[in-house]
A and B are shown apart, each in its own frame.
Chain A
Amino acid sequence: MHAPDGFLTAGTAVATGAISVGAIGVSLRQAREQLGDKQVPLAGISAAFIFAAQMFNFPVAAGTTGHLLGGALAAILLGPAVGSLIVAVVVIVQALLFADGGVTALGYNVLNMAVVTAFGGYAIFRALLRVLPRTATGVVFASGIAAGLSVVLSATAFSLEWLFGASFPVPFDTVFGAMVGVHLLIGVGEGVLTGFAVGAVVAARPDLVAGVRDLDRTALRDRTSIGMRGFALAGLLVSLLFATVVSQFAAPAPDGLERVAQDTGFDAAAEDHALADSPFADYATAGLGNEPLSLAVAGAAGVVITLAVGLGLVAAVRDRGSAGDRAGDRQHSPT
């Protein structure tokens, strides 16, 4: 989600830039307190790790690959201050040297990809540790869910910025629906990868994981083997639950914000869009009288639809590639 130059209005870029500069300033100070003069080499090499992990392709489905975003991972392993600091450095270097993301878009890119994912992800992680068993298994699940939700938070933050700084009139609910829908799916991948990566570090060097430093070491040694299937299923259930529950909160909020937007002259986006007549327009399902219920149905349907489309794409890719794969398998089979 490296937004390019001019994607949001200049005012939004300046405002988010100010927030990001403030957040990086606070993170810098906290990181210095936490790491002392070790800060530069440790944060630098950890940033190299996050950058490298973003270049490393993981399997997603049928031979297609995705990569880690790493905001929540960095925060859980190194604490939210160092975590947001190093992801911010990664994002800044990607814009300046790799032209990935605009230089004038750095304000919102750093805010969404570093600050929101690291601090938001860490907050969710710590909150989950209060309810989950404080064992290695609990930490893996807490990390996974927190990482998945941090991606959704990031998408939500972008949608909110869109509300105030849209550069063209696509309505808030379209952007919100598309961003959160797509990122729920990306979040499942992010969650699975982060959960197992944190699990590996907890098994090898629990003292390095900032997020579990206050937990009991002997309890952390308690590891039940986690089936991959169960983990992916849990991720899916959480995202379904999230879409259903969050749509309840999301619904009244845009109304208030839309009014603010109208008052400030940003009313073009409030016009009805082409999908206004679709069954899930405005996030309320047509024909269902009960508003919260219909919102929940719309939210859950969004996840199911995104998933179905994703699986459909996967099936299409797989069918096309299977002939070649079989030939490949034969070549590699031991004789």
Chain B
Amino acid sequence: MGAGHAHTLYRHGHSHVHRMAPQAKLAAAFVSVVAVATTPREAVWAFALHAGVLAVVVAAAELPLGFVLRRLLVIVPFVGVALLIPFVAGGEQVEVLGVGLSREGLWGAWNVLAKAGLGASISIVVAGTTEEARILEGLERLRVPTTLTLIAGFMLRYLVLIAEELRRARTAMLARGWVPRWLGDARPAASAAGVVFVRSYERGERVHAAMLSRGFTGTMPELDTHVTSGTDWVLGMGVATAAAATAVVAVVTT
């Protein structure tokens, strides 16, 4: 399920959602996902409202629907699991087209599909309108430990390069007549992965040496390039409040 991460995450644009301060955007997204996840599954209307809010944000962000839907394919494995639930779950059975299905299981499947779909869509909108570095900057401002955001930053910076090293190793093996078909043929690929690890580690040491030579003392200098405007927080909290209020009403009424 980790495969297929090669697509472009960020979609360049100049909408309000793009320009919003990353910490306000992340906080709004997090509150919204929590609201979706805690909405009781019986409150179908609440999920429709959540989807409505999301649709407004997608429109405001000027993201094409196709972009969001294509990236939603990442949850397909769990859709498969969800579709099996009504057949294996216990409890009261209902007849659907002549097949006995579990009523609880049908609710469970709906629950997983609705929450996974909405939750993933919210993440997609955030990643689609915020550059990677800005997301990490926002996380840091939300008091996530700097070491974690720095490690994540280095990871994203070197990801394509390391992936390319692995790909080159595979190309070299294919050029020498390697035909990977069975797990038994995986040995050279696994060994190549080991070699790429050695190179990555040595690269880490080289990068560290380069950092030291440029005056690194153990902490990274802070770059204060973006100022949060009050409007960003008002907009973000507006979306978050809509989602949270929907969830609260749904919990109270069901």
Contact = CB atoms under 8 A, between A and B. Distances in A.
Interface string B112-131: 10111011111110110000
A92 B74 contact: no
B142 to A, nearest CB: 12
Contact of B205 (A37, A38, A40, A275): A38
A126 interface: no
A243 interface: no
B154 A47 contact: yes
Contacts of B132: 97
B87 interface: yes
Interface stretch (B52-60, B158-166, B223-231, B237-245): B158-166
A75 interface: no
A3 B200 CA distance: 29
Given A99-B71, A201-B194, A3 B78 contact: yes
Contact of B170 (A56, A89, A100, A196): A56
B105 A4 contact: no
In this complex, which of B90, B122, B145, B184 has the most chain A Cβ atoms within 10 angstroms of its Cβ?
B90
Contacts of A63: 181
A77 B198 CA distance: 10
B252 interface: no
B184 A104 contact: no
Which of A32, A41, A98 has the largest count of B CB atoms less than 10 A from its CB? A41
A169 B108 contact: yes
Contact of B90 (A40, A58, A169): A169
A168 B107 CA distance: 8
B43 interface: no
A46 B5 contact: no
A48 B33 contact: no
B191 A174 contact: no
A253 interface: no
Interface in B188-241: 189-198, 200-201, 203-205, 207-208, 211, 216-218, 220
A63 B197 CA distance: 25
Contact of A167 (B108, B147, B182, B194): B108
B36 A40 contact: no
A157 interface: no
Interface in B140-156: 145, 147-148, 150-156
A208 B121 CA distance: 41
A60 B183 contact: yes
A41 B218 CA distance: 11
Instruction: Report whether over half of chain B's contact residues are helix, strand or loop; otherwise say mixed.
Output: helix
A4 B88 contact: no
A44 interface: yes
Contacts of B87: 274
Question: Interface residue tally of chain A, by bracket?
Answer: 35 or more
Interface in A1-49: 1-7, 10, 13, 24, 28, 32, 36-49
A290 to B, nearest CB: 28
Contacts of B167: 56
A85 interface: yes
A94 B111 CA distance: 22
Contacts of B200: 45-46, 48-49
B6 interface: yes
A113 to B, nearest CB: 10
Given A100-B2, A100-B5, A6 B37 contact: yes
A98 B166 CA distance: 21
Taking each of A2, A39, A45, which has the highest tally of chain B beta carbons within 10 Å of its own beta carbon? A45
Tell which of A61, A62, A89 has the most Cβ of chain B within 10 Å: A89
A131 interface: no
Contacts of A195: 190
Given A102-B37, A268-B91, A268-B104, A38 B208 contact: yes
Interface in A255-269: 268-269
Contacts of A327: none
B184 A229 contact: yes
Contact of A89 (B36, B155, B216): B155
A5 B116 contact: yes
B175 interface: no
A248 interface: no
Given A6-B111, A51-B163, A168-B111, 14 more contacts: A5-B37, A5-B116, A42-B208, A52-B163, A86-B155, A94-B2, A97-B132, A99-B123, A102-B120, A188-B183, A189-B183, A208-B198, A232-B183, A232-B184
26 contacts: A4-B119, A5-B120, A6-B111, A37-B217, A43-B204, A44-B153, A44-B158, A45-B158, A45-B200, A48-B155, A56-B163, A56-B189, A58-B183, A59-B180, A59-B183, A59-B186, A63-B181, A93-B155, A97-B156, A99-B121, A102-B120, A168-B108, A193-B193, A197-B191, A199-B194, A204-B194
10 closest A-B pairs (Cβ-Cβ)?
A44-B154, A168-B108, A200-B194, A6-B115, A5-B119, A4-B116, A196-B190, A54-B2, A59-B180, A42-B204
